[in-house]
Structure 1
């Protein structure tokens, strides 16, 4: 019995490399970083003032994205604190991404969001975006989150990739459970503070602290050894900033998003060069860096700008310029 003749399969042309499709391991390095701090607390706990003093102590020109009806502005001038402010009354997470892009383009070294909770549970926040999406799908909650989750994730990515320090306050409430006391009677017991934001958002920050009505700051999570599990009564935000800066400065100089932007928009950029640049930016975790588009002025991010420019250059016939 003879075997059938083998079928010849035409050789497929080699595919061009695509942005983000390569997996390249690089040596780990410790770089100077920018602070990512969250302070949660109940009303009157002092989280806004502590965050303002912290932002001032970081030594950078800073801006406040204010959702609290001007609460932060009441502290202007105290201990020399000065800042610019953007008042917001609509809390669509995509609007925060746009605000961060505008702040990055304006060169603010630190941004304080007071508070991040509104972009979760406020007017047009993530929860309302989910409700709106649900209504289009007959009340299907799963379909609603198909819209809401990407908005939330894009907002968090923009926070993490901001080219400066980011401080966010969050409203919180006390969680209670019923437990039996030593006399056998059932009574409510406070089990801690729950931030008004999506569960798990605290994992994205370097330092997470809670404040109570007695103006006591308790560090819940810290990558800064000196602040680990610290409990501080009437905290001095400027002193906290000094501890943060000492930790942040322990490493090699960090990549500058402005340099990446200049390379991405250079007139002599090539497809191959942009492909390599995309890998560098990805390795630096800066793809989501918020920025304003150099041509349209619309909010975008660094990764999308590189991809769009690279795709445009790849389609240009050989021997012609990208801008001809």
Structure 2
């Protein structure tokens, strides 16, 4: 037989971490702090696609630096990571990895170039997507920890409700190939409003065993990296680094009911209540997020109507 089974044992695994956000959201600084926690010896390599902007942090952090220039083809990122591993890096930061998707010579440019030469869509995407797929296979086999810094855009959707056209914000979305984030061990969206702090109300991926490593409202720092590194080695974080015990969670139907009640009461009441929830409870509201936003919009509209009504004589 070609399959051999053995008892499953936790052992060393590699980490793929993505930090997405707009300019000023603290992606690069957070990546360096996280990397220093994962590799206290400073075996960190920085692949810089941003015209050497990574060097702005050279007086604050210790790392190897490589200036990557266009074209930003998938295979060039693989080449850079392999060179970093040969140089002894335990952690490789790629900033900005969004260039692989929409940078000069990235897969979008590549597909456009093929279209201009007469290759019809979707055929013009076949070769770039295959190169991206091969790159992902190589990244998943990498033994170093990879930290990807990604740009993000604030997306909106235009909907028609109640006879009115409404613009609904969808939040910050990372700029990358649409399946890229699924391969991450963990991913976070950072906001310029709260630089360096993970926002669990924005797109993110955190497994249950990692949730306590990233406390709500706290910046991503060296301690987060230490906890991740201990987990990746197959060990358990020391008591000083261990997450606090989980709190009892409200049942889903009860949580949904209270959330709807608070949303009908108005945005201020809802946000005040939501701030007191655990991270798990906040995530548990995702299935009714659109409904809650509609209720909040209705509450805002009622408040505006009351404000605009003239006072009785």
TM-score, length basis structure 1: 0.64
**C-alpha separation between the residues in 2 aligned to 1:184 and 1:48?**
44
Distance 1:141 1:150 in 2: 15
Per the alignment, in what secondary structure is the counterpart of residue 178 of structure 1? strand
CA distance in 1, matches of 2:213, 2:158: 27
Distance 1:180 1:142 in 2: 31
Give me the whole-angstrom Cα distance separating, in 2, the residues matched to 1:26 and 1:133: 46
For residues 67-89 of structure 1, what are the alpha-carbon distances to aligned partners after superposition, in whole Å with 9 as ceiling and x for unaligned? 112222111232xx211111112
Report the equivalent of 1:237. Answer: 221
Counterparts in 2 of 1:233 and 1:184: CA distance versus 1, 3 Å = farther
Picking from 172, 188, 206, the partner of 1:222 is 206
Alignment match of 1:72 (pick from 54, 63, 83): 54
Q: Which runs of 5+ in 2 are unaligned?
A: 237-313
In 2 relative to 1, CA 245–155 (structure 1 residues): closer, same or farther, beyond 3 Å?
same
Aligned to 2:87: 106
SS in structure 1 at match of 2:122: helix
Question: For 2:124, which of 137, 144, 153 is the aligned residue?
Answer: 144
Is the partner of 1:97 in helix, strand or coil?
helix
User: 1:198 matched to which residue of 2?
Assistant: 177
CA shift in 2, pair 1:251/1:133, >3 Å: farther
| Cα separation, partners in 2 of 1:70 and 1:232, compared to 1, 3 Å | farther
Deviations 1:145-185, CA, capped at 9 Å, x for gaps = 2211111112222222222111001111111113468x975
C-alpha separation in 1, matches of 2:172 and 2:146: 22
Pairs aligned (count): 227
Question: 1: CA distance between counterparts of 2:116 and 2:34?
Answer: 42
Deviation at residue 193 of structure 1 after TM alignment: 2.1
**Is structure 2 residue 227 aligned with structure 1 residue 248?**
no
CA–CA separation in structure 2 for the residues paired with 1:229 and 1:236: 9
Equivalents in 2 of 1:62, 1:206: separation in Å? 19
SS of the residue aligned with 2:219? Answer: coil
Q: TM-score, normalised by structure 2?
A: 0.66
Equivalent residue, structure 1, for 2:30: 50
Q: CA RMSD in A?
A: 2.5
Check whether the contact 1:221–1:229 (CA below 8 A) recurs between aligned residues: no
Residue matched to 2:141: 161
The ranges of structure 1 where at least 4 consecutive aligned residues each deviate by more than 6 angstroms after the TM superposition are none
